[in-house]
Structures are given as structure tokens and as C-alpha cells.
Amino acid sequence: MPAPVNRFKAALAAGQMQYGCWAGFGDAYPTEVMSTAGFDWLVIDGEHAPNDIRSIMAQLQVLEGKPDSHPVVRLPMGEAWLIKQALDIGAQTLLIPMVESAEQARDLVRAMRYPPEGIRGSGAALARASRFSAIPDYIRTANDQMCLLVQVETVKGIAALDDILAVEGVDGVFIGPSDLAADMGHRGDSAQPEVRAVIKDALGRIAASDKAAGILAVDHDTAVTYRDWGAQFLAVGIDVVLLARAARDLAARWTKG
């Protein structure tokens, strides 16, 4: 029995639109609620949400076997030891922030793969990823099911985009509008014309490559624009923001007369 087929990776390779949402509560219960919505993918955010390896694992467990809601685990940084832990608890799709060079991208590809293609440590026997050795062929088949999404979200990363797009083993490139705007001197304002111009150009270049283009938008019109610009794995919301806004609106309706 081989490693689980990564349907999200296959959908990206087939050019299918994939709509996602951030899962940022750092807890399995709200993530399980989000899995009833019908998104194609959910980001278990280990960068900006209060997640650790155990809370990420608990969210992977509640998403197990779902026909949609593919778990995309975002790590705080692209460190090989973090990647090893995330893959051993069962993640198959990683979103890695702050990628600024082809060399960095190549290192990430290698960190996600067992030798000889990579440097991933061979601990599958006791790992959840192999279902504790219930998948006997896991270590021989896992490499092909790894999906690497790199975040390009700085001026330096944008300058290296063509080189990053040439790296074998990168499945998608995600443009981070907030961090890119900040690095361009427009902290908090990704709607700045010069930022939008860079995003539009980058999405177009990614979409024209053999990689999938991805991005996050938290308002409908911007999401439609990003899709028109070439975004294929498109995150259209953040669960924490959805709840906060709905709660404030409801409270205002009753308490502000």
C-alpha cells in the first residue's frame, strides 16, 4: 500500500482552480467546523496562528479522509527539522514563507524528500505519516506525493521569481500581499498601485510557468481580480477574521441601537 495520493497536488498539476481558507485558531475544533464549509484546501497556519506540532497534528487528524478541505500546513520558516516533523505527523502539502532564492527553494525540495532525492530522515516506522507502519510502502512512495508551495513576499523574492520558477519540485508559488506591501514600503496597504502592479506581474509569470499561482484575498472583489490575474490556488478568507467581523456586526446590531 503506497503513501496517500495528494489530490491537491494532482489538482494543481491538472490546472484546476482550488479555493481555500485560512484556519487560524490553532485548534482542531474550529478547523473541523471549517471542514464542513466545502473549501478545497485549508491552511493550518503555523506562522501567524498559535500552532505547535501537536495542534497541527490534531488538525490533520480531524481533516483526515475529507473529500475536500485538503490540509496545507504553513510552517513559521523553512527549516529542515521543522519540515521533517511536519511530514512525519502526516502533512503532505507545505506552505513555506519568505522564500527569496532558487537555492532556498531547492533546499526546501530536498528537505521534503527521502534520499537520494533529498535529506528527509527515515523515521517513517513510528510516524503518523505511515500510519505507524500500516502503510508498508510509505517510505518508498512518499516523495511523489509531496507538494511544496513557496511564498514569495519580498522585493528580493520577486527579483528571484524566474529562478524560483525554474526549480524542479516546487509545485506552487504563493504571493504574500501583506508582507510584499510592507517590504515595498506600504505596510498594511497591498492595494497600493505599485504593489498591485507587482502582484499582477508575478501572478501572470507564475501562471505562465509549470507551477500554480496562489494568493490570499480577504475581500471578494480583490479575490476575483487575483483570479483574473492568474491565481489558481486562491484563499478567499480567514476563519478568525470571519468570526470576529460577524461577532462585532451582531453585537453592534443589538447594542448600538
Ligand X SMILES: O=C(O)C(=O)C[C@H](O)[C@@H](O)CO
Which residues of the chain form contacts with ligand X (CB under 6 A)? 48, 97, 151, 153, 176-179, 216, 238
Query: Which CB sits closer to ligand X, 33 or 240?
Result: 240
The distance of closest approach from Cβ of residue 216 to ligand X in the complex, given in angstroms and rounded to an integer, is 5
Name the closest residue to ligand X (Cβ).
176
The distance of closest approach from Cβ of residue 40 to ligand X in the complex, given in angstroms and rounded to an integer, is 18
Coil, strand or helix: which one is 195? helix
Q: What is the dihedral of CA 164, 169, 174, 179, to 10 degrees?
A: -60
Q: Which residues 6+ apart lie within 8 Å of 25 measured at CB?
A: 31, 49, 239, 240
Query: Which CB sits closer to ligand X, 32 or 47?
Result: 47
- What phi and psi, each to the nearest 5 degrees, are found at residue 11? -65, -40
Query: Which CB sits closer to ligand X, 98 or 167?
Result: 98
Q: Which residues 6+ apart lie within 8 Å of 30 measured at CB?
A: 23, 239
d(CA 136, CA 125): 9
The distance of closest approach from Cβ of residue 149 to ligand X in the complex, given in angstroms and rounded to an integer, is 11
The distance of closest approach from Cβ of residue 160 to ligand X in the complex, given in angstroms and rounded to an integer, is 17
Coil, strand or helix: which one is 142? helix
Active site residues: 48
Coil, strand or helix: which one is 163? helix
DSSP for residue 77: S
Query: Which CB sits closer to ligand X, 18 or 151?
Result: 151
What is the DSSP pairing of strand 18-23 with strand 147-152? unpaired
